[in-house]
Chain A
Amino acid sequence: MNDKLLHIQNPVLSIIDLSISYGEDKYAVKDVSADVKKNAITAIMGPSGCGKSTLLRAINRMHELYPNIHTKGEIKLNDQSIYDMSTTKLRRKIGMVFQRPNPFPTMSIYENVIAGYDLNGSKLKKSEKDEIVESSLTDVGLLEEVKDSLNKKGNFLSGGQQQRLCIARTLAFKPDVILMDEPTSALDPLSTAKIEDLLVELKEHYSIILVTHNMSQAARISDNAMFMYLGELVEYDKTKKMFTNPKDSRTEGYLTGKFG
């Protein structure tokens, strides 16, 4: 197995022998080990039910919200175990964007962007808050479109705009890693393209892990790609290499559409 895995110098994230099960013995993720490159887009692909979302959600310890999910193994962020810090601290360093855009409906656009800080009880001056909101919205290319409606609630925004708002909300913390769980699967092709362009821009300053069921998306924008099947990490390589010359037959089967 090891020769099918990518070796990375100074990875931003290291996953070591990670196994995740529902209940006592239903394993969704089996013994996964991988290093994630800094300032790059790493895609996790695979057919439905292969465990890619489960793997992603372990990285910011979301599974701890659900008592019947058991996690074994280690994950390190910049050489520090994620279990050595509180989840509140961890989730400022590792942000998450979800499949369906979920801005908080009772908050205005401004409040949504700064929500992370407000929820964490930070006492920031108004000028500091303004700056964070402005720069986050600029980074996602939304500022021009909403700058006159910052105090309105976001329900008039289109799906793509709402998702960019959610990304801005995550960027406000300037996290080290951004986890994205199929962020464009609920969006139309135009919005999808906009967000894909955004991700390519963002990787200059952030490390992005992108779960996607759309292999062309992975091919378009990711630098490295993991292929998962039935809970195992089958292959992990530079994207171009994996797509042109997959090492495992299962990978090849998936990429050529034999199953999926």
Chain B
Amino acid sequence: MVSEKVIKNLLKASSVIILLIFAGMAYSMIKGAIPAFKEFGVFGFIFSTDWNPTDGKESYGAMPFIAGTVITSLLALIICFPLAFSTSLFISEYYRKTRIASVLSTLVDLLAGVPSIVYGLWGFYTIRPLIAELGYSGQGYGIFTSGLILAIMIIPYATSISNEIISMVPTELKEAAYSLGATRMEVIFSVIIPGARSGLVAGYILALGRALGETMAVTMLIGNANIIPTGLFSPGNTMASVIANQFGEADGLKLSSLIAIGLLLFAVTAIVNAIGKVIIRKYA
């Protein structure tokens, strides 16, 4: 008969795989990035705005993509916030526990099920021509277009957490505010939001984490320009989209640079997600 101890040790041993994966990922990426870091220096690479694949004059840097990532993700968060917050209020406060709220909730969940490439297609064929027609950008590519689609993609992540947090605010606090003559909107701003604040923040941080790593939709809409974006409608690239766009037949120093960018992306998303999870664990 197999003893309990053996099984327990087997379970523990299997968990080591997670450690191995992480260690392996870190090792492979760092090893792959070293040629680039050696050539340009770690800080040199991070802050350089070059992206020149010409033989003999190769020079690569991550700054345009870091800028592109930060700008599109923040833009996405700004656009997402009023939409996601209104939806959460609709589902968890105004129409709580009604049929229409669960219909809406299901539709929002569907948003999360749409594959990234389909968002890219829809953005490409529907939104992009609109932006171009409005005269904001030649062909409709750019930071704004990709930020807009990104915002739609991260809404379900923000709403699922805020729905839960908002519905956890105790009824008696809301009734106390009503009994003092507050209108519904006043109850929302004076009792619900302060009470749910940390949960809301965590939800949006996690949505941000999702936006940072999004690849396909951004690749198809951002215009594939290896420059620091110059304006709201200028083209650019993010860390994720440059990897997808430039991977093609990348080799040698170029490949190493792309891996270095992948390493940076990994670090940034890991940190942002960790912060979000810590806030949730501590306060919600």
Contact = CB atoms under 8 A, between A and B. Distances in A.
Interface of A: 60, 62, 65, 87-92, 95-96, 98, 100, 102, 104-107, 115-116, 118-121, 166, 169-170, 173
A58 to B, nearest CB: 13
A102 B178 CA distance: 12
Interface of B: 170, 172-173, 175-183, 186, 190-191, 194-195, 197
B283 to A, nearest CB: 12
Contact of A100 (B172, B179, B195): B172
Nearest to B195: A106
A90 B178 CA distance: 11
B180 A106 contact: no
Given A102-B172, A102-B173, A119-B190, A95 B179 contact: yes
Given A102-B172, A104-B173, A106-B195, A116 B181 contact: yes
A96 B179 contact: yes
Contacts of A96: 179
Contacts, number: 67
A91 B180 contact: yes
Question: Could you tell me the dominant secondary structure of chain B's interface residues?
Answer: helix
A56 to B, nearest CB: 11
B172 A115 contact: no
Contacts of A91: 178-181
11 contacts: A60-B179, A62-B178, A62-B179, A87-B178, A92-B181, A96-B179, A98-B172, A105-B195, A106-B195, A115-B190, A173-B180
Contacts of B186: 119-121
Nearest to B182: A119
A62 B195 contact: no
Contacts of A119: 177, 180-182, 186, 190
Contacts of B195: 105-106
A102 B181 contact: no
A96 B191 CA distance: 17
Nearest to B98: A67
A121 B175 CA distance: 18
Contact of A104 (B177, B178, B181, B197): B177
Nearest to A119: B182
A112 B98 CA distance: 32
Contacts of B190: 104, 115, 118-119
Given A92-B181, A119-B181, A166 B176 contact: yes
